[in-house]
Amino acid sequence: MHVERACLLLWISLGLSTFDSLLTVLANLGSYYPGQYVVRAVLKLMLGLAIVLWFTRMLSTRRNWMRLLISMLFGAGCAIFVYFFSTDSTMIALEFAIRPIHASIMLAQLALAATVVVLINTAPSRAWFAAHRQRRAPGP
């Protein structure tokens, strides 16, 4: 099922984010205050875990509004990305030059998010969500 695959991809994206945070912590162990990176990583993981848990739970229980919300958030994120890229096209090249692993993880997460949006908006997925709406609709 497409929705189940989409949920799995959300968890994989969280795993990539956690790996990226771990790399950031390890890269900054010799800094003046490395604890700040640990605190950021833990907060990022907790927030990401809460969001992915909420997203996957609502998708799994056939909440069509969550499908729409994820699609809109992805669209807004892409619009922001295009805006920043159009104002400073060297930003992405600079990110790859300075932190290539981080930039690669960001691109992988973007690809995963795009795949999630496609999967939850396929005809079988929309029908799956619609079947739940019809079942919940009050009868005459």
Q: Which residues of the chain have pLDDT under 70?
A: 134-140
Q: What is the pLDDT of residue 139?
A: 53
Residue 75: inside a domain, yes or no? Answer: yes
Determine, yes or no, domain membership for 69.
yes
Q: What interhelical angle do 35-60 and 2-27 show, nearest 10?
A: 180
- Split into its structural domains, the chain has a count of 1
Look at residue 66 and tell me if it is in a domain. yes
Separation between Cα atoms, residue 43 and residue 35, nearest integer Å: 12
Confidence (pLDDT) at 140 = 56
Closest CA to 51 of 130, 113, 2, 105: 113
In a domain, 138, yes or no: no
Q: What is the pLDDT of residue 115?
A: 95
Range of the domain at 113: 2-132
pTM of the model as a whole:
0.82
Q: Is residue 92 part of a domain?
A: yes
Residue 139 counted as domain residue: no
Q: What's the confidence (pLDDT) of residue 119?
A: 95
Q: Does 109 map to a domain?
A: yes
Structure tokens, 37? 């990176």
Handedness of CA 112, 118, 120, 124 (dihedral sign): negative
In-domain check, residue 78: yes
C-alpha span between 2 and 4 (Å, rounded) = 5
The pLDDT of residue 31: 82
